[in-house]
């Protein structure tokens, strides 16, 4: 769409197709620049799409407005192993409703403030903020090899 929006978004192999407003929030519909994936099961490269479903995830705010990304969740068919792998993204986990960078942002805010304060500022429930914070702590413990009981 617009090279400036792609640069601002700064996600790998992604371009912004449309930019719209949704309930006073910015919604960026993205498209992937790669046509296929390497199958995580057998390593075979495939471009054979099985299905695409859009997912709406929260990203970092821009210019004081909440930003949502409408991401196509692509599932492919691998002829080599006859499986249907979903595309893996380095900037988000499909089980989560936020980009990884947004979750890191929330974690840093809670460290410098409180769950209640961040909840109000980000217009998220306190349970959601606590879930993000706990998920980030769990990830940090895995990276550093710290015990889960620490």
Contact predicate 79/44, CB 8 Å: yes
Q: What is the pLDDT of residue 148?
A: 44
Q: Looking at the domain assignment, is residue 110 inside a domain?
A: yes
Same domain, 75 and 117: no
Residue of 22, 30, 3 lying closest to 91 (CA atoms): 30
Same domain, 15 and 42: yes
Same domain membership, residue 110 and residue 64? no
Is the same domain home to 5 and 67?
yes
> Of 88, 107, 124, which residue is a domain's last?
88
Residue 148 lies in a domain: no
Are 42 and 80 contained in the same domain? yes
In a domain, 150, yes or no: no
Q: What residue numbers bound the domain in which 134 lies?
A: 98-143
Within-domain flag for 19: yes
Shared-domain flag, residues 22 and 70: yes
Mean pLDDT value of segment 105-132: 96
| Domain count within the chain | 2
Q: Are residues 82 and 8 in the same domain?
A: yes
pTM recorded for the entire structure: 0.86
Per residue in 32-85, pLDDT tens? 999 999 999 999 999 999 999 999 999 999 888 999 999 999 999 999 999 999
Q: What is the pLDDT of residues 93-110, one digit of tens each?
A: 989 999 999 999 999 999
> Does residue 149 carry a pLDDT above 50?
no
Task: Give the model's pLDDT for residue 119.
Answer: 96
For residues 23 and 53, membership in a common domain is answered with yes
* DSSP per residue, 66-112: EEEEEEEEEEE-BTTTTB-PBPPBTTB-TTSSB-HHHHHHHHHHHHH
The span from the CA of 99 to the CA of 72, in Å, is: 14
Are residues 47 and 2 both part of a single domain? Answer: yes
Q: Which residue has the higher pLDDT, 140 or 118?
A: 118
Q: Where is mean pLDDT largest: 7-11, 114-118, 138-142?
A: 114-118
């Amino acid at each position: 769409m617009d090279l400036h929006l792609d640069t601002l978004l700064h996600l790998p192999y992604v371009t912004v197709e449309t930019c719209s407003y949704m309930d006073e929030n910015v919604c960026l519909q993205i498209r992937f620049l790669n046509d296929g994936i390497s199958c995580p099961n057998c390593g075979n490269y495939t471009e054979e799409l099985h299905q695409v479903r859009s997912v709406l995830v929260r990203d970092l705010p821009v210019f004081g407005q909440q930003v949502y990304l409408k991401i196509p969740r692509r599932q492919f068919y691998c002829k080599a192993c006859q499986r249907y792998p979903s595309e893996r993204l380095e900037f988000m986990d499909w089980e989560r409703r936020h980009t990884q960078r947004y979750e890191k942002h929330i974690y840093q805010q809670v460290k410098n403030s409180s769950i209640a304060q961040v909840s109000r500022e980000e217009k998220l429930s306190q349970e959601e903020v606590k879930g993000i914070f706990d998920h980030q702590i769990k990830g940090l413990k895995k990276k550093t090899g710290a015990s889960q009981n620490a």
